[in-house]
Amino acid sequence: MKRPSETIASCDASCELLISPIPRPRVQALRVSARPQRRRVRFLDTRKPNSLAILRQAGELLRARGIEVEPEIRIKDDPSRPFDAGVLDWIAREEGLILCGVAD
Amino acid sequence: MAHLEEDIERCFEGGWSDGLPVVPPYARLVDPMVERMGWKPTDVAGELADLGVEVRAEQLGAAAVMAGCKLEYAPVLRAVSEALLDPRFNLPGVEVTTGGAAALVIVSGPVVERLGFEHGANALGANARANATVGRFAAMVRYFCGRMGGALEAHGTIGHPGRLSFCIAEHPTTVWGPFHTQLGLPAEASAVTVMATEGPSSINNHYGMTGEAILETIADGIGQLGSTNYYWRGGGYVIVLPPQHMALVSRDYTRAQARRFLYERGVRLTDELLRLGRLPREPMASAQVVPGTLRSPVADEADLTFLESGKDGGKFSAVIPGWVANRPTIKQVRGLEEAR
């Protein structure tokens, strides 16, 4: 996905900078692990329509294949807003794989 | 002139556009706009805490210029900005939702005539500079500020044309009282109300001669099977009444009575909603889904609001569904004395 330019300069001789209408986030960089440290799956439901049913079925399929799956599915409080700091902290501390579902 | 055309293209290429050509946000245009909005350029106008984003006044001023707003609109734009950045509006959610909601701006009170908003012909899509550009400004703020600098994508399934501009002005003289009196402001105030909504549905009734006939038709529009609000019941509805429908309805009903009528009649059987998949088989307890009962798509009749707008002659009302995770956010317009 192409991101909007941070600066645009007008093309006349003065090279006037245009004022950007786009605020940028001030967030700290995240470190992402490429591999889980533990062979375990946990589910995080976003409360979108049908997502819980999909995650439960996914859990059954994984257990049938011998994967350890945490029985409790964590559920997001508000589907219309981003994950809060508590959930992000939970995700960060998890040693296994978190599967997050899903769109409508 | 050549560099203006090229700067318009540069804005397109740089992603500084809502899909339409913009007025390039030169500092010599943005600075006076920011000042008229009552800010200094580096003031933090608001914060989108969920995204870790601070919105500076100059970014809002840039959007106002790009949308084509006149300087004299600045008091309205200031109020719209404050409403959009209010946490109750949930701007990031509005931008990315699968519901494809738009930011509807309702302008009411003396400011409508003062700044030349169209409140008659094609009121929901008026080809008037005030309506088109103020609506576009709100849409741009949603688009530019709700994406975390471009890191987020919108997921609207179908959206609607209001994502480009959606601004409705109320008649300066009303039968039931100004729109904003339903949200706690005094009648003499000028106000903007910003809410995230789906697209409007046209409600046609040309042969009904009673208020009941008109309201029954509108109730059907509210209670239609596809109403998103049946499960979450969070968005409410704006009902737009043009002069001829207003004459019939107000002859027989007060505003409170009309609201109660629509709340009681704009309903469906819960069992039917379950059968057709409009409600999940395992609803949340907080949704209070009770089989064997009638279900309204609003939790509280106060979530039904009336707006008197539109041109005399035809008999079309409109129902505008609110987005489920958003509350109407109202701000008084101040500083109009300096608007000229």
Give the 3-state secondary structure of B158-209: CCCHHHCCCEEECCCCCCCCCHHHHHCCCCCCCEEEEEEECCCEEEECCCCC
Cβ separation of A23 and B145 shorter than 8 Å? yes
Q: What is the pLDDT of residue B146?
A: 93
Pairing of strands B201-204, B53-56: unpaired
Nearest by CB: A11 against B6, B140, B150: B6
**A32 CB-near residues (< 8 Å, 6+ apart):** none
The share of chain A scoring above pLDDT 70, in percent, equals 90
Hey, what are B292's tokens? 């064997």
User: Alpha-carbon torsion A69, A74, A79, A85, what sign?
Assistant: negative
Q: Is A12 helix (H, G, I), strand (E, B) or coil?
A: coil
Q: At B197, which amino acid appears?
A: T
Q: What is the DSSP letter of B73?
A: G
By the CB < 8 Å criterion, does A57 face chain B?
Answer: no
What residues of B are in contact with residue A88 (Cβ under 8 Å)? none
Element (H, E) at A92: helix A85-93
Residue pLDDT tens, chain B, 340 long: 568 999 999 999 999 999 999 999 999 999 999 999 999 999 999 999 888 899 999 999 999 999 999 999 999 999 999 999 999 999 999 999 999 999 999 999 999 999 999 999 999 999 999 999 999 999 999 999 999 888 888 999 999 999 999 999 999 999 999 999 999 999 999 999 999 999 999 999 999 999 999 999 999 999 999 999 999 998 999 999 999 999 999 999 999 999 999 999 999 999 999 999 999 988 988 899 999 999 999 999 999 999 999 999 999 999 999 999 888 999 999 998 755 4
Q: Could you tell me where the DSSP H helices lie in chain B?
A: 2-13, 27-36, 57-67, 74-85, 91-96, 111-114, 129-145, 211-222, 229-232, 243-252, 255-265, 270-275
Q: Is the ipTM of this complex over 0.90?
A: no
Q: Are B67 and B314 in contact (CB under 8 A)?
A: no
Alpha-carbon distance A61 to nearest alpha carbon in chain B (angstroms): 21
How much is the pTM?
Answer: 0.93
What residues of A are in contact with residue B6 (Cβ under 8 Å)? 11
pLDDT < 50: residue spans in chain A = none
Pairing of strands B53-56, B44-48: antiparallel
By the CB < 8 Å criterion, does A82 face chain B?
Answer: yes
Q: Is B97 helix (H, G, I), strand (E, B) or coil?
A: coil
Q: Which residue of B has its CA nearest to A51?
A: B280
Q: What is the pLDDT of residue B340?
A: 47
Nearest by CB: B3 against A1, A12, A104: A12
By the CB < 8 Å criterion, does A3 face chain B?
Answer: yes
